Amino acid sequence: MRDLPYRWIEAIQDRRDYIEDQLRLGSPVVGLPYEKGSLLLTVTKGAQKIFEVHDRIALSAIGHPADIERLRMLVTDTASVQAFQSATEDVNLHRLTHYVLAHTFKQAFEAIVGEAYIIKMLLVEIGNGDAKTQFTHINYDGNVNVHHESAVIGGTSEIENAMQNYLTNEQSDTETDLATTIQLALKTWAVGRVLSQRFEEAEDDTDVTEEQIDEIIKSELDEGEIEVGILDDSLSADTKFRILSQDEIQDLTNK
């Protein structure tokens, strides 16, 4: 009986290793603010990966498609019920992440006799509270990190650190327009994509050149397409979210 806690710890580590191995090749997601709101960007090969949660909240994720859809529906339905039972203003990202999603992630991860969620999720909210933008990163184990300047999710923590370092070096202190922000987000995505392929081949170098960034964007867009969801605070409707069309993205990335 004395060794039961150690068996649990070993089982948790095995579970962590398995999930991270499954997530390693996931297409990264980048969240950035721009002058009229915030955006989420990734590159997909067909299936939609960026969704509205509520009027001022959106999400994206990497992981198993069934897990993403199940948890997307959970948080979207919860937001709708809260808005109906109380008021739209009561729906906020902090409540949804800390009292709904994080608990669900953590409970599934630590219940080693059941199935864990193979997922990392990035949510963004605009215009609720003192900060103009809030990004929330939820790990598969229920760990939550909140950011205001930018946020990323990638297949491993090393990939995420490299993407964030690239953003730190390239991001301006002033608000930028949508075209400039999309171009930066796409390059940051490319840093993560280069490293996910490199790590799959057991290489641990995290340096990525501008030439490699351009090459991976070109090669990945031969089969996939850029997906961008924006929360635009200037929209007159209650809902501030919309998905950019491919024509809009093409125009903005060519500026």
> Which tokens sit at 227?
């997906």
**pTM for this predicted structure:** 0.92
For residue 17, is it within any domain?
A: no
For residue 85, is it within any domain?
A: yes
Q: Which of 178, 148, 173, 153 is nearest to 163 (CA)?
A: 153
* Angle (nearest 5°) at CA 175 between 172 and 176: 80
Instruction: Identify the CATH number of the domain in which residue 79 sits.
Output: 3.60.20.10
SS3 label, residue 8: helix
**Rounded to an integer, what distance in angstroms lies between the CA atom of residue 95 and that of residue 162?**
29
For residue 247, is it within any domain?
A: yes
- The full length of the chain comes to 255
Boundaries of domain holding 180? 28-253
* Contacts of residue 73, Cβ cutoff 8 Å, sequence gap at least 6: none
For residue 122, is it within any domain?
A: yes
**Rounded to an integer, what distance in angstroms lies between the CA atom of residue 109 and that of residue 116?**
5
pLDDT at 1 over 50: no
pLDDT digits (tens, 9 = 90+) for 26-42: 999 999 999 999 999 99
pLDDT at 172 over 90: no
For residue 58, is it within any domain?
A: yes
For residue 15, is it within any domain?
A: no
Lowest mean pLDDT among 53-62, 95-104, 108-117: 108-117
The count of domains in the chain is: 1
For residue 90, is it within any domain?
A: yes
Beta bridge partners of 29: 153
